[in-house]
Chain A
């Protein structure tokens, strides 16, 4: 068994730690690129959402490198993501690739027993004792929390740095070094060292950079290829960004909701507008919009793929939040056809708009 998985932000670093800790064969798909997207578009239905296409591209590139099992998360609906695994399996089968899928659904939906059963399938080939397997899993969880925290802090403090580009450089090197490190322990060590370095980067507390919250559909805001590297671009422009939806957030949220002890602030804030889960992360989008306002952010950028049902609903709600709280919101819709020029023009104009408002202290 050689396990692969679709890319989602920094999960590949945590996956590496997990599989190396377990002693299981694995393949990390090459970082998503235009080529990945091309492969994905070739084999996917045209109308399906962008994440689906990139994921298919990831699988195919991994299978070429020897993978035979796909590990993904599910959601059991209600948005299209709930059907991804079935459809993707069929597409791969039609390409004469009989690939096994291990779908990690929320324990709340499939029950704790089935959840643990599926987790154990991942470690089937591992010869280690149960205690060591659990240790590997806990190291992976620690990894994802650590790398996501590093990224979060880099992106937020980038607006405050004294020497331009230090946080961007650190973020780039930590990922490169982490993936090249041999073994689970060494990878974690690389992360810990960089986290220490990060704390030492000089920041200027008197700076007043533009602060932007990134909200919207979880995959497109995490995956830089789908959102055309928006966070990197904003970072280069000296803008501080904040995004709550990281893979580590997802892990925590999933576990807590499985244990029915999730009292996240996000849901409290969004309740007035969206009381029910309508699939995807629409409630999180609304809740985050309000929370970002309360944290003193200057503007919000919502990103979602063409045809994303939950985000279309939240897009319709956002103008209300814009008027009520007086926070500017820019909605960007992406797919493989998105033109770069128009996209960046909008982002640039949005930053100008915020700067103009800041000058007048609105």
Chain B
């Protein structure tokens, strides 16, 4: 079995895939700014069902991939763009475009013949990503899971200025004060975010069907509908849309292990180890990289964060 871990800004997703790459187990946990704790919680959960020897390979992805790689002893740490693409291609060879909206970034990936041909990520602002929607749901006192349903109820979506997260919020408050219906405002917000995505992130990219919509925000049917209306194309939300990154990481780990042979997985036992990161500045050159050192019960288990490999290559 193959383990995939995606440590993102908002959620930490863990999947277990079988030999045929079917999802056996999936966990969707909140990172809450403590990636080590989130991964440990996930592994504790999984240790009830699996033995160390069941795991043949481990892959990590997401913004916490390097930390997690050292923590769990993963065989590969890959960026989330590649991981999402691999997972989608594996599911359906026909996929040509992936729209992925996660906690704090949104991406578009275009694919031709099963190979990534182009991609883009949001650069200037996080408007339209998961954490922004989360915050708005909280402000409107609507559970985030119900956000999409509200949007679908709307008959006359209002126009919201979606270029910037702060201004979008002021515009929403303004529309609320004018007395617009909440569902019209939510639908307007979904439209604004989809429009913003197409004109900013997807600027200059060829969007061709079949289109996959992945990431936590894909659970929002309001966003799906908004994209379908703007693009005038059908959008597919895969069953495991929320953990596609983790699935990709597990698949990449499987491919990696075919090359290197044996996994370096440190076992499920790390869930009750006290692991502490410690940062320091390297004075090796003018780069002054901030190095992170991971310590488990005061024993060093690895370094990362350097640009030259001086520390991360240190065998521990």
Contact = CB atoms under 8 A, between A and B. Distances in A.
Interface of A: 30-34, 168, 172, 224, 229, 232-233, 236, 319, 322, 328, 333, 341-342, 345-346, 348-350, 352-353, 356-357, 359-360, 362
Interface stretch (B47-55, B75-83, B144-152, B180-188): B75-83
B119 interface: yes
Main secondary structure of the interface of B (DSSP, over half): loop
B166 interface: no
Given A232-B307, A232-B308, A333-B123, A352 B288 contact: no
Main secondary structure of the interface of A (DSSP, over half): helix
A349 B307 CA distance: 17
Contact of B78 (A30, A333, A352): A352
B204 A236 contact: no
B307 A233 contact: yes
Contacts of A322: 118
Contact of A341 (B63, B81, B285, B287): B63
Nearest to B205: A319
Given A31-B286, A232-B308, A345 B119 contact: no
A270 B51 CA distance: 61
Contacts, number: 64
| Residue from the set A32, A349, A357, A360 with the largest chain B CB neighbour count within 10 Å | A349
B301 interface: no
B121 interface: yes
Contact of A236 (B80, B81, B113, B309): B309
A30 B288 CA distance: 13
Interface residues of B, number: 23
A34 B81 CA distance: 29
A353 B116 contact: yes
B79 A345 contact: yes
B286 A349 contact: no
B121 A345 contact: yes
B119 A353 contact: yes
A274 B108 CA distance: 29
Contacts of A236: 307-309
| Residue from the set A33, A232, A356 with the largest chain B CB neighbour count within 10 Å | A356
